[in-house]
Amino acid sequence: MQQSWQQWNRKARALMWVLTLVGVLAALPLGATRWQMEETAKKVEFVFDYRALVQVASYQAHPKAFIDEQLTNMKEAGVHSMAVYESTLEEMIWSGRLSVYDTESASELTGEPIPGDENFTYILFAGKEEETALRPMIEATFEGWDIPVRPWSFEGRSGLVLETPTANALLKPMDPDPLSVQKIRDKGLSIVLRLSDRMAYDQEETEKLLSDYKEMGVQRILFEGNAVKGYRDNPEKKSIAGFASLLKEYGIGIVTIENSKQQKGMNSLAYLSDYNVVRLYSLPDGDAATMSPEAISDRFQLAAKDRNIRMFFLKAAPSRNSEKASVVHPLNNIYEALKGPEGAVAKLEGLGFTMGQAEPFEHTSPSWHKPLKAIICLGAVALIALLISAFLPGTAIPVFLLGLIGSAGLYVVSKPMLEQGLALGAAISAPTLGIIWAVGRVKAHTTGHLRPIGGAGETPAGGMRWFFPGLSAGRRLAMALSIFAMTAVISMLGTPYVFGLLNNITYSLVLEQFRGVSLLHLAPIALSALYVFLYTGDSVIGNLRKLLTMQITVLWVVIAAVLGVVGMYYLSRTGNEGQASQLELVFRNILESTFGVRPRFKEFMLSHPLFLFGLFLALRYRAAWVFFIVGSIGQLSMVDTLAHIHTPLYISLIRVALGLGMGAIIGLVFIAVWQVLEGVWNRWLSRIALKVQHSFKSGA
């Protein structure tokens, strides 16, 4: 009965490998669809923060002339648009549109006594043009907040009295400053509208706003704050749906910000507006002031090429400089980063991008995607079952059936959760199975049925073989290269499952993210170590007993501590938060300029070379089998590279291929050095043996 069950399980495993390969083939058309989508949006837009420009200008001797000059400079440098915010009284003060006084300062200005029990805000417009443009907007805004507004004047200048404290009045948001908008348009620059959720949502007012700005050529809205417009009032007014319908009616898209906490309501608004979304990278104020123009230019190039960024947000905060004894700004540094043959504009145009208003990716979801995804899910379950049965022999059939039942239940509960769970499981399973296969091939050629005659080595008292003679260096090198290549092929089987199951525009726009990255970076390593230590001897129980009864020495404690530190550093390098050393950053730039695509450092400089070197050694020395654990890092990293859905697919594939190729070359160098050192060592031992033999003969 047991033998029959084992036969059924062997047949089942063979069938599961077939299902795995069928799932891979089913995922390829979905990958092709994504590849085509990533080629549809090739316009890059540089957007400057107009509020920041106004703030810098407020520290200049002639603010208005400074703004005019800088708008011209920005146009020439390659800035296409200005981000215009909902205005405030404070911003209007910076722009010189009006003056604001509290009750006490207004009393000093007019020479009249301070009214009793009053804490109001007094406004004086700079001129007739400012009054005509701003007065209706100010009155409508504060009346909307139920704050009384009445006329006021002083020495021929018209103004208003707002019956609220100045600190409160300065915070109230209004529509964008029409005079600033007109100035920007006169300079030939486009407008990117910045809206917040601070004002109560009104469908009619929002429609009028979008209608007016559509006539001005506005194509995209960038939200300010932690929520999209209409989020706060959505439970009562269904404002997000209403806002989305207006966006679709006027053909205006929205923007999501990279490396920033997602704004509330963004997912819903993106879905309801048919994902008319563009990703934006915001250059921090500090980087704009301290980074070299070349470094800023390289950052923009990488963001557009490697992360599908199509908008770049530029700011320039004024700062005090004691050495120059003045307030300085980084505007000239930004211009240098954009202009010239080494500037960002020229580099991006050299990559096939054009400058202009950013456009969304053209995405489709044909009906034939659904049956293919069902096949991919089936293949993913099979791949995960293969991994589990590698550790629990004889369980392939029940694990596969349980996986199918669980997947069906999860599909009912949450389809995205099912897709992410299977993608993560496949991403962990493939590289782990690759390492297990490599261990199996080495075992077969050293302690198993494929070992050469006389190649089993001596078995010590403990029962463990540590040395395997019989294979020449050339034979070991050929076998190591073939095992290295086949392991990579098996590991890469996991990548079609990742991009096939997560083939949704929401992942490309990072509205949803592939969860479990830390688990992906740890599980294959832990499982590979478990297999090497427990499944490569005579029995799992026997190996476990040996490990549990081992005497723990100070050396073991030190090794564990070192491994812990290495593990923490390894985890710190994973994901978007990882930090690289300055030396590595220099090396990265060299690789980027040489190949156009930078392979992952830990693959070609660490894991791949040591894995190939370890395979060569493992066919002769059992102690070298620990290199399989190091090799798992590179195998999982290849899958993880394809799990960065926001990176163009062809970039990820080139990165993996470069990592494998360069890693193999470095591994061959390690092998050559080892052969030289081993030859020197053997000759030295031979000489020592001859000397000992000669001394014995002389003594005799």
Give the model's pLDDT for residue 470. 77
User: What's the distance, CA 38 to chain centroid?
Assistant: 16
Specify the CATH number of the domain 43-86+175-355.
Answer: 3.20.20
Of 283-292, 461-470, 600-609, minimum mean pLDDT range: 461-470
What tokens appear for 469 in the block? 């003679």
pLDDT confidence bin for 482, thresholds 50/70/90: very high
Q: How far apart are CA 700 and CA 175, in angstroms?
A: 108
Specify whether the CB–CB gap between 266 and 228 falls below 8 A: yes
Give the model's pLDDT for residue 584. 60
552: which residues sit within 8 A by CB, 6+ positions away? none
Q: What angle do CA 565, 569, 573 make, to 5 degrees?
A: 170
Please name which of 360, 356, 332 lies closest in space to residue 81, comparing C-alpha atoms. 356
Give the model's pLDDT for residue 459. 52
Between 347 and 457, the higher pLDDT residue: 347
Between 580 and 102, the higher pLDDT residue: 102
Distance between terminal CA atoms of the chain? 69
Quote the radius of gyration of the chain (alpha carbons, Å).
33
pLDDT tens for residues 570-605? Answer: 555 565 444 555 556 666 667 766 677 888 888 888
pLDDT at 654 over 50: yes
Of 40-49, 469-478, 532-541, 584-593, minimum mean pLDDT range: 584-593
Please name which of 302, 319, 300, 322 lies closest in space to residue 311, comparing C-alpha atoms. 300
Q: How many CA atoms lie within 13 A of 442 on its CB side?
A: 36
Give the model's pLDDT for residue 576. 46
Please name which of 309, 214, 294, 286 lies closest in space to residue 651, comparing C-alpha atoms. 309
> Residue 493 to residues 390, 486, 490, 594, 653: CA-CA distances in angstroms?
17, 11, 5, 29, 13
647: which residues sit within 8 A by CB, 6+ positions away? 306, 307, 308, 641
Q: How far apart are CA 471 and CA 454, in angstroms?
A: 10
Q: How far apart are CA 652 and CA 657, in angstroms?
A: 9
DSSP string, 360-380: -------TTHHHHHHHHHHHH
Residues 559, 565, 570, 573, Cα dihedral to 10°: -160
The partner residues of 121 in beta bridges, in order of sequence, read: 102, 162
The full set of domain ranges for the chain reads 43-86+175-355, 89-174, 430-685
Give the model's pLDDT for residue 448. 76
- Beta-strand (E) ranges in 78-219? 81-85, 98-102, 121-125, 149-154, 157-162, 190-195
Classify 311 as helix, strand or coil: strand
What tokens appear for 439 in the block? 């261990």
pLDDT at 396 over 60: yes
Specify whether the CB–CB gap between 23 and 340 falls below 8 A: no
Give the model's pLDDT for residue 207. 94
Q: How far apart are CA 58 and CA 67, in angstroms?
A: 10
pLDDT at 349 over 60: yes
Q: How far apart are CA 402 and CA 406, in angstroms?
A: 6
pLDDT confidence bin for 144, thresholds 50/70/90: confident
pLDDT tens for residues 8-31? Answer: 888 999 999 999 999 999 999 999
Give the model's pLDDT for residue 461. 46
Q: Where are the alpha helices (DSSP H) in 535-602?
A: 540-548, 554-572, 582-595, 601-602
Helix (H) or strand (E) holding 80: none
Helix (H) or strand (E) holding 280: strand 277-282
pLDDT at 613 over 50: yes
Give the model's pLDDT for residue 10. 87
pLDDT tens for residues 60-88? Answer: 989 999 999 999 999 999 999 999 999 99
pLDDT at 283 over 60: yes
Please name which of 138, 146, 125 lies closest in space to residue 173, comparing C-alpha atoms. 138
Q: How far apart are CA 618 and CA 469, in angstroms?
A: 11
pLDDT confidence bin for 463, thresholds 50/70/90: low
Q: Provide the residue type at 456 as one letter.
A: A
| Backbone torsions φ then ψ of 41, nearest 5 degrees | -120, 105
374: which residues sit within 8 A by CB, 6+ positions away? none
Of 197-211, 401-415, 549-563, minimum mean pLDDT range: 549-563
Q: How far apart are CA 425 and CA 419, in angstroms?
A: 10
Of 202-211, 598-607, 613-622, minimum mean pLDDT range: 598-607
pLDDT at 369 over 90: yes
Mean of all residue pLDDT scores within the chain: 88
